[in-house]
Amino acid sequence: MERKEVSFFNRMFRGSKALWWVVLFIGLFSAVELYSASSQLVIEKDDVNAEISGHFYTLVIGAVMAVVMSHAVRTRRRVAMLTWTLGAVGMVCVLILLLPEGLSPHVRVAGIPIIETGTENGASRWIVLMGIRFQPSELLKLGVVSSVAWVLTAPGRFVPGMKWLCRMANRDMSDEEWVDKVRFVMGTAISAVAFMVVFSENLSTALLIGGVGVALTWVSGTWGRGRTVSMVALVAMATIAVATLHMVSDEGLRRMGAPERAHTWKHRLEEKLREDETTRFEYNDVRRQTVHSQIAIARGSGWIGRLPGNSVERDFLPQIYADFVFAIIVEELGFVIGAVLLMSLYLALMWRCCAIARMTRDNYLTMVLIGFGVLIVTQAVMSMGVAANVGPVTGQPLPLISRGKTSILITFMMIGIIQGIAEMTIRRIENKKNNDHEEVENNG
């Protein structure tokens, strides 16, 4: 058969064209609204273009990384090795952040930081490596999803260890049964370890990573009884944790050896629990962000908002460009464009991931696609929920929109891997069609 000429655009942007358009429109939201939301930083730095220029360059670099990733991941082996490598780097850096203050590395050469740790809001969240500042817990997202997906789909001979443990519990167990149970246990264990490593300094990210890992384990169809037991255990542990935070005093938490951030979790939880119709709009230092976010959403509740650049609440909301950017989007663009359209774009991203997963014949790649899609959309829902006062403040950025270089770049990496898998799927389908056509011609 004659090969069709492929345009430069199609050669460069591999995979699902619809998904590239979705990412482009989300990027337009980001560029327009960050220009408006970063007004406080403009005043602080006395530079009109510094923040939006930096954010724009981050989006461009992220888009280039996504294109490079889509070309790099040509096989399932490359997908696994790339995600595992980045996840391992993230795990090592997170463990460095957990070291006591006296043991934290601070290495400089000629005044240039080779490796340092950084704090934000009293939590160690940043690593400065060769002058590059990033949040290592974001890298763990790639590694955890890929590792759980591999454990749940690898052939039984590749699932390491624990066969003897399962057979101790039931000596009549078949090979298929013990492999099924080992997969479930290992998938849950990977999610639990990631959660335990991250939670002390960034609870919302730990819940996101661990939750997506456990969700993949549950939907994989392995060991139905184990899913029930683990669900009951998770509900019990969550209930105990919430009750402990609510009932134990700050001093009691300190004596128990709880993380420093536990006091912040306690105060946010108590603030949410005591909220009712009379205290919902109570204005104080603790509720300042939430109240102004609700006012911003109320201002844009009509069909058309105040239009870009005309936000009022951006001058009152701290961290508006990060945690509460969704409120400014609704205020300026209105309910239809600001809320419904943006939500639809994230849902379209998830739908494309599912559509590609349905066509992919590789179970591992299917799980990676679903994991990345769920991760991005769940993070978006968490960020929107905070702005709408549905849940307590979590600090999760709105994917590809909120200011935050690490989050944007890692999300673009996920998009690139998704597109690489889509290209693999498209190539396999085209090869099958060509082979079928040649077979028909030969038989004819």
What's the pLDDT at 280? Answer: 59
CA 13, CA 34: separation in Å to the nearest integer? Answer: 26
Q: What is the pLDDT of residue 419?
A: 92
Please identify every stretch of the chain with a pLDDT value under 70, giving residue numbers as ranges: 1-8, 37-51, 100-114, 116-125, 129-131, 155-178, 221-227, 230, 245-246, 250, 253, 256-287, 302, 391-392, 436-444
Q: How far apart are CA 398 and CA 257, in angstroms?
A: 32
The span from the CA of 74 to the CA of 61, in Å, is 21
**Residue of 4, 1, 127, 138 whose CA lies nearest to 441:** 1
Identify the pLDDT of residue 2: 45
Exposure letters 353-386 (e unless 16+ CB within 10 A, then b): bebbbeebebbbbbbbbbbbbbbbbbbbbbbbeb
For residue 320, the 8-state DSSP code is T
pLDDT, position 320: 73
What is the pLDDT at residue 231? 73
Give me the pLDDT at residue 1, please: 42
Tokens of 178: 């013990």
User: Could you say which DSSP state residue 13 is in?
Assistant: S
Q: Which phi and psi angles does 110 have, rounded to 5°?
A: 55, 40
Residue 135: how many other CB atoms lie within 10 Å: 23
Q: Residues with Cβ < 8 Å from 15, sequence gap 6 or more?
A: 70, 418, 419, 420, 421, 422, 423, 426
CB atoms within 10 A of CB 50: 14
